[in-house]
């Protein structure tokens, strides 16, 4: 703390006395690099403004050359320079006033050098302590400002503020508007929080515990900050609570960050739950779709077998008989028969072949009418209506919009077969001779087909998967569900039936495992069935060629 050598400013001391003092101090080991003597206060202030000194020795006995406020002037302008007052033994009351302002650094001018040196060292040490305290307070103030906090020391009995640091920055008040009392602070606390704050402080004071509170306090601009108040009550020797010391920290941004984090975590939790529900729903849909595909596969297998039996029966009862008749005719012609009989047999042979061609053409139309691929679903439904009336005596009143034809050929085939299945059900179960068939565009992107009859009706809830009628309807429903369509049944016993098919108008996806593949599986259950279709078309073309050749 004490320098190796010092520069001293002597005020009110003559040069001979100054040299004598310097000699005495050197003899006892005090290194002085220089002493400047001035007699007037104005000169002393001027020298301090231009030169650097380590200490000022002020002769308080020289009242004729010193003004009464010299000590105040020195301390105001140079608060960091220590001052030692030299006094005499019989100084008057005026000198006593100067002494009172320098109570921490006084020594008699006639004292031995050791006493003067002790006074100098004491003054320098005292000033160093003051500087260190001032630096510490400045660091403390800066810490409060940068941390947006306030430190307080409150008298526990009166509520008077003993020390408050950081209030202006925390709540926006000026330096002159420091906290005066505990009640003033309580008045700034939010009305919804003050009751709980008082209760917790009283409980901490009663139990002698530290307290840790969070509440809202009003800023000078009227807004509210969230603060964290932590402190304790200090006891005296009699264990009486005499002071409350603590700190108040602005935690508004932290609370906002915590709230933002909480909302983010909540959103993440909600999204996770939503995703989990979607995964569960998607899994359930996949399981349902898998079951539907399994059921549809079984239904298609049965339908294929049923179709094979129907085709075999049709071939055996009609086409095969015609071919057998034609074979008998050719065998007869191979033998020796009269000319007039030969012409009759040729007429019979031609009749058998024409009927066989017509039968094969009818089978081909039933399986996959070329009109469906060439002219669209609407015109194919008109053909189906004529076919049902011709074959089964069922009159079908058709109202089909050409603008409602599906763009996808496989989907058109699926709807055609579904309508044919529904008309067969009317023939077998409805006990009517007339049915209405309507096809129209629905909701811009869908086609809707309705088959309505005034027959005996049925209870849709009583359909069973293994019943003949239920098998057909459930099979249609499963196929439509695969392409994003649906089947709706409106029927009741004695009230007729109204069955509506809905399907998309656009093209289906054409990738492996897609809806288009499922539709093709529904339309063409097996390779053998496709071969029958192709064979029927070839027979039809062959018959047309034969007819044209014959006409030539």
Indicate the pTM of the whole model: 0.43
Could you tell me which residues are beta bridge partners of residue 224? 218
The span from the CA of 497 to the CA of 491, in Å, is 4
| Residue pLDDT, tens place only, 205-224 | 888 889 999 999 999 899 99
Residue 310 vs residue 477, higher pLDDT? 477
Q: Please give the pLDDT value at position 220.
A: 87
Choosing among 3.40.50.720, 3.30.565.10, 1.10.10.10, 3.30.70.20, the CATH entry for 368-508 is 3.30.565.10
Q: Please give the pLDDT value at position 435.
A: 94
The span from the CA of 59 to the CA of 115, in Å, is 15
* 473 exposure class (CB count in 10 Å sphere: 0-12, 13-18, 19+): buried
On the question of pLDDT at 463 being above 80, the answer is no
For domain 6-139, the CATH class is alpha beta
Tell me whether the CATH fold assigned to 6-139 matches the one assigned to 147-250. no
On the question of pLDDT at 298 being above 80, the answer is no
| Residue pLDDT, tens place only, 330-349 | 888 887 777 778 888 888 88
The span from the CA of 479 to the CA of 300, in Å, is 10
Q: What is the mean pLDDT of the chain?
A: 77
The span from the CA of 449 to the CA of 453, in Å, is 14
SS3 per residue for 39-87: CCHHHHHHHHHHCCCCEEEEECCCCCCCCCCHHHHHHHHCCCCCEEEEE
Largest separation between any pair of C-alpha atoms in the chain? 185
Q: Please give the pLDDT value at position 443.
A: 82
**Domain 147-250 is found in CATH 3.10.150.10:** no
- Give the residue extent of every domain in the chain: 6-139, 147-250, 368-508
């Amino acid at each position: 703390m004490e320098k190796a050598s010092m520069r001293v400013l002597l005020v009110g001391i003559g040069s001979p006395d100054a040299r004598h003092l310097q000699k005495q101090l050197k003899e006892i080991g005090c290194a002085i690099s220089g002493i400047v003597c001035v007699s007037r206060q104005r000169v002393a202030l001027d020298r301090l403004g231009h030169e650097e000194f380590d200490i000022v020795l002020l002769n308080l006995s020289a009242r004729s050359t010193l003004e009464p406020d010299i000590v105040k002037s020195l301390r105001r302008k140079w608060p960091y320079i220590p001052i030692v007052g030299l006094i005499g033994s019989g100084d008057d009351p005026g000198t006593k006033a100067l002494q009172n302002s320098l109570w921490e650094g006084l020594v008699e001018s006639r004292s031995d050098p050791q006493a003067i040196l002790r006074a100098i060292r004491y003054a320098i040490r005292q000033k160093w302590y003051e500087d260190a305290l001032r630096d510490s307070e400045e660091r403390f103030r800066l810490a409060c400002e940068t941390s947006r906090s306030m430190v307080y020391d409150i008298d526990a009995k009166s509520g008077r503020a003993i020390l408050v640091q950081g209030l202006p920055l925390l709540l926006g008040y000026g330096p002159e508007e420091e906290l005066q009392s505990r009640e003033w602070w309580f008045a700034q606390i939010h009305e919804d929080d003050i009751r709980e704050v008082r209760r917790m402080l009283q409980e901490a004071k009663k139990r002698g515990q530290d307290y840790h509170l969070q509440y809202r306090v009003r800023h000078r601009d009227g807004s509210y900050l969230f603060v964290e108040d932590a402190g304790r009550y200090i006891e005296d020797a009699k264990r009486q609570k005499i002071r409350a010391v603590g700190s108040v920290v602005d935690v508004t941004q932290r609370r906002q960050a915590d709230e933002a984090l909480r909302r983010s975590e909540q959103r993440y939790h909600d999204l996770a739950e939503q995703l989990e529900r979607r995964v569960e729903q998607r899994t359930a849909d996949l399981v349902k779709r898998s079951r539907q595909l399994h059921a549809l596969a079984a239904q298609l297998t049965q339908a294929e077998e049923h179709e094979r039996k129907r085709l075999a029966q049709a071939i055996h009862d009609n086409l095969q008989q015609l071919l057998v008749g034609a074979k008998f005719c050719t065998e007869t012609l191979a033998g020796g028969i009269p000319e007039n009989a030969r012409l009759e047999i040729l007429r019979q042979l031609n009749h058998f072949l024409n009927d066989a061609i017509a039968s094969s053409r009818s089978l081909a139309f039933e399986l996959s009418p070329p009109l469906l691929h060439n002219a669209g679903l609407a015109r194919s439904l008109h053909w189906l209506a004529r076919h049902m009336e011709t074959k089964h005596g069922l009159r079908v009143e058709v109202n089909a919009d050409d603008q409602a034809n599906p763009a996808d050929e496989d989907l058109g085939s699926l709807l055609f077969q579904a309508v044919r299945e529904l008309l067969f059900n009317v023939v077998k179960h409805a006990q009517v001779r007339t049915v209405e068939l309507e096809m129209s565009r629905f909701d811009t992107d869908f086609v809707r087909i309705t088959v309505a009859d005034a027959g005996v009706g049925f209870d849709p809830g009583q359909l069973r998967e293994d019943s003949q009628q239920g098998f057909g309807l459930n099979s249609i429903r499963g196929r439509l569900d695969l392409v994003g369509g649906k089947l709706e049944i409106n029927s009741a016993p004695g009230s007729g039936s109204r069955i509506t098919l809905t399907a998309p108008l656009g093209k289906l996806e054409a990738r492996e495992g897609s809806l288009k593949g499922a539709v093709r599986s529904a339309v063409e259950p097996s390779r053998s069935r496709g071969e029958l279709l192709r064979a029927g078309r070839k027979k039809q073309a062959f018959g047309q060629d034969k007819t044209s050749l014959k006409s030539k």
